[in-house]
Structure 1
Amino acid sequence: MAIVVESEKACTVNPLKMSQPLGATYAAMGLDACMPVMHGSQGCTSFALVLLVRHFKEAIPLQTTAMNEVTTILGGYENVEAALLNIRKRASPRIIVLCTTGLTETNGEDMEGHLATVRKRKPELNDTELVVVSTPDYLGAFEDGYRRTVTAIVKKLVTPLRTVREQINLLPGSHLSPGDIEELREIVCAFGLQPVVLPDISGSLDGHLDAVWRGTTLGGTTLDQIRAAGASAFTIGVGEQTRDAAQMLEAMAGVPFEIFERLTGLEPNDRLVDRLAQLSGRAVPAKYRRQRSQLLDAMLDSHFYTGGVQVALGAEPDLLLAVGSLLQEMGAELSVCVSTTASASHALLPAREVMLGDLEDMERGASHCDLLITHSHGRQMATRLGKPLMRIGFPVFDRLGNAHRCQIGYRGTLNLIFEIANLMIGKIAHHHPGNWVLPQSSLDCATAARQGNRRT
């Protein structure tokens, strides 16, 4: 169990965390025909938009209520009404997710009251679902905004229905990529089950070209599917951040649930396929038995290069747990762990300490480490320290293919292990050019890596 400590610095120097409104927007992007709206200044929205576009290399539908000095002081009702009417007229979304920012939260606006008044004054909005989420960006982080938004969507839109035995809900955490979600869906369908994925960014942010254009999200969980989630026989959540939404589903529609703290690694995927076999009454398909044996072989081949390696890791809580636990199982040591916000996931991390801080905190403790793992804002740190950097999480804007990375399931775990091991092999090759040989044991590998560090 890791001890959680907070950085005592007066300011953030090199940010690790992203804001709650950005996490809320990310969740809304997984709904079909949806328009996320930030109730705040244009600058807040522009910053989020730039990060999403750079990460996914896709057009991102995102609007703002464009608050200014006057409306911030006098109240932003008129801006909310005007934004909703303009969005409906121009884009015709089926769902609008309105998330607050620090600007409007500090002002103490009654957002539920605003929407109720808009409904009465403008009946033409009655064919559009409106979901409001409180996401002040001076509290919490990306994962918190995502969690609150998914929970608000469930509370607002899910309808209790008669149970469909073959249908289950999948609640993916914000740390899962479109490729991860597609892999999870494929695993569930292989057992003859029908998944309702909420939210489903694999349909909207998977990097596909389409002849159809519209001003809203194109793909994702439809409004009918969200409502039908109340008919599912079971809910599977991936990450502690999905617990609130799963509990809300259980309270509203009586749908039991299980939270998988991670789906990266051997043991959690064994639990997943066992649970799916139990729910479906079917045996585990031969395909996944084969993938499991391939993962075991990959772990055997790669542990020579990960055993004894000291790692500095900076990520959102659930991603920190997923990657950190796998590294520990592969013999690595989690020397430095930095996260963004408080979470029950930290209690499960196999490390001595987790610091809630920034990338400067990570850099200060990582001088002796062999490998750095964080998002793209850690690239300057890696250059200064002369360490290899593995990019994970959000945002990753200096690499292509983020939508298609798969790091869950047996196959995704295998991909991740090879990526880490190959980074360590590359590090050894860099410091021992020419006629070098692969180490024959994890001790040899770790020793070679540290010798390379000393020479630089």
Structure 2
Amino acid sequence: MAEIIKRNKALSVSPLKASSTLGASLAFLGIRNAIAMIHGAQGCTAYGKIYLIGHFREPVALQTTAMDQVSTIMGSGENVIEGLKTLCDKFQPDLIGLPTTGLSETQGSDVSGAVTVFRKQHPDCFKTSVVPVETPDYAGSLETGFAKAVTEMINRLVPEAETKGGVATNKQINILVNASLTPADIEEIKEMVEAFGLIPLVLPDLSTSLDGHLNERDYNPLTTGGTCAGDFEILHKACATIVIGSSMKPAATLLHERTGVPDFHFDHLMGLDAVDRFITTLHELSAKPVPQCIERRRQQLQDAMLDTHFNLGMGRAAIAADPDLLKALGDLLAGAGCELVAAISPSNAPILKEIFCDKVKIGDLEELETFATEGRADFIIGNAHCSASAERLELPLLRAGFPQYDRFGAASRCWIGYRGSRQTLFDLANLLLEAELGMLEPYRSIYAQVQDKEEEHYGADNPHADSGRRHH
């Protein structure tokens, strides 16, 4: 069990975390015909929007209640009501997400109360669901904000089932995904589920909203893909719920209480053991044999583990990531024979105690550099913010997590399943090959040094050079 070392300084140097407000906004981007309206100052929304656009390379629809100095002091409820009314009139969204910021939470905004007043004053907007969620910047991280938004969507949109327990004969599978999964990861999960003849219903589904596709319209103020808001009402019909990530446990617990559908929890889907357990669960739920294509991918991952073991075995890794992603990457490296010598997380979570590492630090990138140096790390895994640290430490960096604004294709990178795990091992091994870590320095004879000095003195093409060498 890893020891959790909590924060012990008053400020962050080179911060690692993305805010929980940003995480909640990301979750709402996985709902079709939805939009998030961040309750805070205009800068709060603009800052998050820059990172989302830079990471996904896609236009991202975000709105703001535009709190100013007057509303911050006198109250900002009217900003919320006016903003909701404007969005409903202009865009007719199916859902409006309403995450808060540190500014509105410090001011003491009653967002739920403002939504209640909005419903009374504007009954004509009843078709649009509104989901407020408390996500102050100073509490949690991207992962916790994402999980809170999903929990609140379930709380407000999933009705109490009359008959609980799900429908055993139904092929529908509810899938709750965490913030660390890319659109390509979610697509991989859906393909594996469909290979067993099951029907996946992902919540939230970024694989159809932020997967990098061209739209028929030049501009759409709402999300162009994702889970339909109406799908929340049929979650009780599923035969099972699959939960990926420990951060999603509160959402899974609430969904189970509302619907009674049995759930199956997975910390992640990286590495041979984790994916084997996932495939076994699908096999048992569907009562169908494992498809040959999946068997083939498993064999390919096994071969990749053998191929890369000579480079990754006994390697020393430093990882900076949110808890769920940190656990996933740590388990994948442990399966490859790597030692995790530095583990940095922006927020605390129970799953951190289960990481294969002596200590996990709740901190920033300054502490990543300190722990990586002390542990003599061979490489670093982290988001784009880690590039400066990797450059200072002269270590190779594998970019993972959010944000990745200095590379293309972050959303299309698959990390999970047999195929994703295989590619991750290849990428890590290639980093070490390029850095030539663990390679012996070439031996240079002292006689070669004497010869070089003679050539420098006589000149390589001078006939006296040979006589000089014979003389010596």
Structure 1 length as normaliser, TM-score? 0.93
Instruction: Measure, in 2, the Cα distance between the counterparts of 1:54 and 1:346.
Output: 29
Say if 1:7 and 1:361, in contact at 8 Å, map to a contact too.
Answer: no
Q: Secondary structure at the match of 1:202?
A: helix
Query: How far is the alpha carbon of 1:434 from its aligned partner?
Result: 10
For 1:86-115, what per-residue CA distance to the aligned partner results, in whole angstroms no more than 9, with x for missing partners? 111222211001011111111222211111
Q: 2:412 aligns with which of 398, 404, 408?
A: 404
Rounded to whole Å, the distance in 1 between the matches of 2:438 and 2:335 is 26
- Displaced runs of 4 or more, over 3 A: 161-164, 429-435
Query: Which residue is equivalent to 1:438?
Result: none
Choose the corresponding residue for 1:387, options 381, 395, 402: 395
Decide which moves more: 188-197 or 207-216.
207-216
**2-side partners of 1:430 and 1:81: how far apart?**
61
Alignment partner of 1:358 is 2:364: yes
1:127-153 deviations in Å (ceiling 9; x for gaps): 100101011111111111011000001
- What residue number does 1:443 align with? none
1:434/1:52 CA distance change after superposition, 3 Å: farther
Residue of structure 1 equivalent to 2:462: none
Output one character per residue of 1:306-364: Cα deviation in whole Å (capped at 9) or x when no partner: 01111111000000000111111111110010001111211221110100000010011
State the TM-score, normalizing by the size of structure 2.
0.90
- Cα contact 1:40–1:100 (8 A) shared by 2: yes
1:311 equivalenced with 2:322 (yes/no): no
2:214 maps to 209
> Quick one: which of 423, 432, 439 aligns to 1:415?
423
1:367-386 deviations in Å (ceiling 9; x for gaps):
22110111001111111111
Q: Confirm or deny that 1:377 pairs with 2:382.
A: no
Return the offset for 1:122.
1.1
Alpha-carbon deviation of 1:84? 0.8
Shift of the 383–432 alpha-carbon distance from structure 1 to 2, 3 Å rule, reads farther
Q: How does 1:212-223 map to 2 (within 5 A)?
A: 212=217, 213-223=219-229
Matched, 1:254 2:260: yes
SS of the residue corresponding to residue 398 of structure 1 reads: coil
Following TM superposition, by how much is the alpha carbon of 1:432 offset from its aligned partner in structure 2, in angstroms?
7.5
The answer as to whether partners of 1:204 and 1:220 remain within 8 angstroms in 2 is yes
The 5-angstrom pairing of residues 330-349 of structure 1 reads 330-349=336-355
Judge which range, 107-116 or 348-357, deviates more.
107-116
Alignment: residue pair count: 435
Matched with 2:285 is 279
Map of 2:464 onto structure 1: none
Give the Cα separation in 2 of the matches to 1:276 and 1:192: 10
Q: Paired residue for 1:238, among 239, 244, 252?
A: 244
Q: Is the CA contact 1:161–1:230 (under 8 Å) kept in the aligned structure 2?
A: no
- Whole-Å Cα distance in 2 between the matches of residues 431 and 67 of structure 1? 57
Q: How far apart, CA to CA, are the structure 2 residues paired with 1:429 and 1:380?
A: 20
Match of 1:439 in 2: none
Secondary structure in 1 matching 2:333: helix
Matched-pair contact (CA < 8 Å) for 2:80–2:111: no
2: CA distance between counterparts of 1:291 and 1:392?
23
SS in 1 for 2:118: helix
Aligned to 2:97: 97
| SS state at 1:366 partner | helix
| Letter paired with 1:221 | T
1:37 corresponds in structure 2 to 37
Max radius of gyration: which structure?
2
Partner Cα distance (1:224, 1:281) in 2: 29
CA distance in 2, matches of 1:363, 1:227: 48
2:184 aligned with 1:179, yes or no? yes
Instruction: Measure, in 2, the Cα distance between the counterparts of 1:177 and 1:399.
Output: 15
Change in 2 beyond 3 A, CA 1:433/1:146:
same
1:7 corresponds to: 7
* Partner SS, residue 208 of structure 2: coil
Give the drift of 1:245.
Answer: 1.0
Give unpaired runs (5+ residues) of structure 2.
Answer: 444-472
Distance 2:438 2:72 in 1: 55
Gaps of 5+ in 1: 436-456
Distance 1:362 1:80, change over 3 A: same
**Residue number in structure 1 paired with 2:234:** 228
What is the letter of the counterpart of residue 80 of structure 2?
V
Q: CA deviation at 1:298?
A: 0.4
- How far apart in 2 are the matches of 1:217 and 1:161? 32
**Contact 1:91-1:214 within 8 A present in 2 as well:** no
Give yes or no for the alignment of 1:293 onto 2:299.
yes
**Residues 89 and 23 of structure 1: CA distance in aligned 2, closer, same or farther (over 3 Å):** same
Quote the Cα distance in structure 2 between the aligned partners of 1:334 and 1:132: 39
Contact 2:36-2:61 at 8 Å conserved across structures:
yes
CA distance in 2, matches of 1:272, 1:151: 23
| Residue 161 of structure 1: how far off its partner (Å) | 6.7
Q: Is the 8 A contact 1:157 1:227 kept in 2?
A: yes
Whole-Å Cα distance in 2 between the matches of residues 4 and 218 of structure 1?
Answer: 41
Matching of residue 59 in structure 1 with residue 67 in structure 2 = no
Aligned partner of 1:454 in structure 2 is none
